[in-house]
Amino acid sequence: MLLKDKTVIITGASRGIGRAAAVECARQGANIIIGYSGSESSRPAVEDLINEIESLGRGAVGVGAPAEDPDTGDKLVEAAVSHFDGVDVFVNNAGICPFHSFLDMPRETYLKTVDTNLNGAFFAVQAAANQMKRQGRGGAIIAVSSISALVGGGMQTHYTPTKAGLLSLMQSCAIALGPYGIRCNALLPGTIETDINKDDLADTDKREYMASRTPLGRLGRPEDLAGPIVFLASDMAQYVTGASLLVDGGMYVNLQ
């Protein structure tokens, strides 16, 4: 029960890494605000997650919260205040990576990626931090960045800068928010099999290449990130702020 009676907001929690984190946080005693895109097609997945969390004896509320909307953070915070006891943990997880070559990258693809992954995150983190400051009991903010904050991707020239930006945002926020007892850390997943890279990894050669780069011998699963997210959210990490935690099966260090 590392998060007993805490309230955790997770953006993009309807599936993938965000969903796995939501379930594990609930298992550890937290109530969850499930941020999702707001699309009708996501609603069944959100209902399914609410049911799973309730079966663990915890509360969960789904909030339609498009990541690119600067007002989304306020909306998520309002839900946490009205349904539970404010916000203890904010996990900025929502993100997209529409793989595309650089030289002909459509402007709208670039702008949408930056708005969704980084600009929206800035305002959401700001909203969560202001609420945590008002509450006066500290808090934890986790940005789901990526191994791609540290290395490039030829088909990810729009995406990797957003992930580096999130890492940098957590470093600066750690300084800005430390005086309020608010810890800010970046989680850097490696290659995790989810919907975000389903098409990319449908290429068997690419999939095998990515797996072969991983010393632990397999690609990641969403559940592999849940424990590290709980750790950063919990008091076990009470002196951890401004840090980056790679969870990549060793992929980053695997030069030779």
* Positions marked active-site: 146, 159, 163
Residues 80-99 that bind ligand NAD (CB under 6 A): 93-97
| Distances in whole angstroms, Cα of residue 210 to Cα of each of 12, 46, 98, 215, 223 | 25, 30, 18, 11, 19
Report the residue from 164, 192, 232, 251 that binds ligand NAD according to the rule CB under 6 A: 192
User: Is residue 195 a contact residue for ligand NAD (CB under 6 A)?
Assistant: yes
User: Is residue 62 a contact residue for ligand NAD (CB under 6 A)?
Assistant: no
94-123 mask for ligand NAD (x: CB under 6 A)?
Answer: xxxx------------------x-------
Burial class (CB within 10 angstroms; exposed 0-12, middle 13-18, buried 19+) of 21: buried
18-57 mask for ligand NAD (x: CB under 6 A)?
Answer: x-----------------xx----x---------------
4: Cβ–Cβ under 8 A, 6 or more apart, which residues? 28, 29, 30
Do 15 and 45 meet the contact criterion of CB atoms below 8 Å apart? Answer: yes
Q: CA angle, corner 105, sides to 104 and 109, nearest 5?
A: 155
Closest CA to 94 of 67, 68, 65, 72: 67
User: Is residue 249 a contact residue for ligand NAD (CB under 6 A)?
Assistant: no
Which residues here bind ligand NAD, judged by CB under 6 A? 12, 14-18, 36-37, 42, 66-68, 93-97, 116, 144, 146, 189, 191-192, 194-197
